[in-house]
Amino acid sequence: MTQQEMLKKMQEISFTLVELNLFLDTHPENTDARAQYNRYAEQLARLRAQYNAAYGPTMNFGLCPAENAWSWIDAPWPWEN
């Protein structure tokens, strides 16, 4: 997967998680939705770790490691194309 493809995949999984999160806020007893949430959360964590290892951190304030360099400041920022 290219960087773009990997980012798009992360956006897709994150979007599913936002949707499930809001649904669970008003349906907290729904165990099907909770199982789906956990499944996608695991997929996202795995993909994010791969992306971070290849292209640098996607989250600030200690949520992603900064292994070789402080690449948090590197382009592109999300608004740049």
Partner 1 sequence: MWIYEKKLQFPINIRRADLQMAKFLFAQYGGPDSELSASQTYLAQRYTMPTPETKALLNDIGTEELAHWEMLGTMIYQLTKDASPEDMRAAGLGDYYATRGKGIFQQSPSGEGWNAGYIQVLDDPIANLVNDMAAEQKARAAYERLMNMTSDPDVIEPLARLRMREIVHFQRFGEALMSLQNACAHIYAKG
Binding residues for partner 1, per CB under 8 A?
7-8, 10-11, 14-15, 18-19, 21-23, 25-28, 57-61, 63, 72, 77-79, 81
Q: How far apart, in whole angstroms, are the C-alpha atoms of residue 39 and residue 37?
A: 5
Query: With respect to partner 1, which residue has the nearer C-beta, 21 or 38?
Result: 21
CB 24 within 8 A of CB 41: no
Sequence-separated (6 or more) residues with CB below 8 Å from residue 46: none
Q: How far apart, in whole angstroms, are the C-alpha atoms of residue 21 and residue 71?
A: 30
Q: How far is the CB of 53 from partner 1 (least distance, A)?
A: 15
Q: How far is the CB of 32 from partner 1 (least distance, A)?
A: 16
Query: With respect to partner 1, which residue has the nearer C-beta, 28 or 68?
Result: 28
